Amino acid sequence: MPEIVSIYRYPVKGLSPEALASVRVEAGETLPFDRAWAIENGRSKFDPAQPRHLPKIAFLMLMRNERLAALQTAFDEKTHVLTVRKDGAVLAEGSLDSEDGRTALATFFDAYEADELRGAARIVSAPGHAFTDTATKCLSLINLETVRDIERRLGVPVHPLRFRGNLYVDGLPAWAEYDDWLGKTVSAGGVTFEAYARIDRCAATNVNPETAERDLTLPASLLKAYGHADCGIYMRVIEGSTLSPGTPIAPA
């Protein structure tokens, strides 16, 4: 039976993933702290008092800012302190909840991304808001056998974290998440999802998460090989509970 083999969240949009050993998910929500903060690329129209979904171009993100992938970040869920490292050395640190902490982090990104910023960097957030690529609150699922099929078809290694998913699943035939799951209710332990949409991939997937190099042309290669540029599905949480690696997952 297919099972969840790894769970990731991305506390700050565009920065490194955080593997989770266990997580409580709630109906109608993302993973807790998933894309809860973003780094504004110059002044945007984001208003914390009236948050709304904005295009990813408003923020630093891998589609255009691949050097972000060279950073290793650690998020402390209790203190909300973000630590930024590169090659093991701490480059910046600050609480995402304090003005001083956000200023310290933004100052680092002002220097690190100086030639790619359209204005001063600013760490932004709003209660209950997630800076995901879709306006609907959901989780993204990646089928590892689909990634292996892409590797075979393209003839190159494809790191699964290029797709920056929340749930990585194994034991499912390639592309079965599209052919057999879409439009259905999916159960994982006590969690119930609605699998509702394919994920159309952008140039962020061209960036190697291990080297920070833009070394593939995945959307174009997928389109040539399969006639589409999709990998992964979006799933809404209908009924919440706790998820952990090893949890079986399948249509209800």
The pTM is what? 0.97
Return the pLDDT at 43. Answer: 81
The DSSP secondary-structure symbol of 43 reads S
Return the pLDDT at 15. Answer: 98
* pLDDT tens per residue, range 21-73: 999 999 999 999 999 999 999 888 899 999 999 999 999 999 999 999 999 99
Question: What contacts 156, CB < 8 A, 6 or more positions away?
Answer: 216
Return the pLDDT at 220. Answer: 98
Return the pLDDT at 233. Answer: 98
Mean pLDDT of 114-120: 93
34: tokens are 């998933």
* pLDDT tens per residue, range 67-104: 999 999 999 999 999 999 999 999 999 999 999 999 99
245: tokens are 């690696």
Question: What contacts 136, CB < 8 A, 6 or more positions away?
Answer: 234, 236
Return the pLDDT at 45. Answer: 83
Strand blocks (E) in 96-188: 121-124, 139-143, 167-170, 185-188
Return the pLDDT at 55. Answer: 92
Confidence of residue 171 (pLDDT cuts 50, 70, 90): very high
Mean pLDDT of 117-129: 95
Mean pLDDT of 126-147: 97
Domains of the chain, residue spans: 3-29+134-251, 38-124
The residue with tokens 């609605």 is 194
Return the pLDDT at 54. Answer: 93
Return the pLDDT at 242. Answer: 98
Mean pLDDT of 174-203: 98
User: In terms of CATH architecture, what is 3-29+134-251?
Assistant: Beta Barrel (2.40)
* pLDDT tens per residue, range 195-249: 999 999 999 999 999 999 999 999 999 999 999 999 999 999 999 999 999 999 9
Mean pLDDT of 141-166: 98
Return the pLDDT at 207. Answer: 97
Cβ(44)–Cβ(183) under 8 Å? no
196: tokens are 């509702």
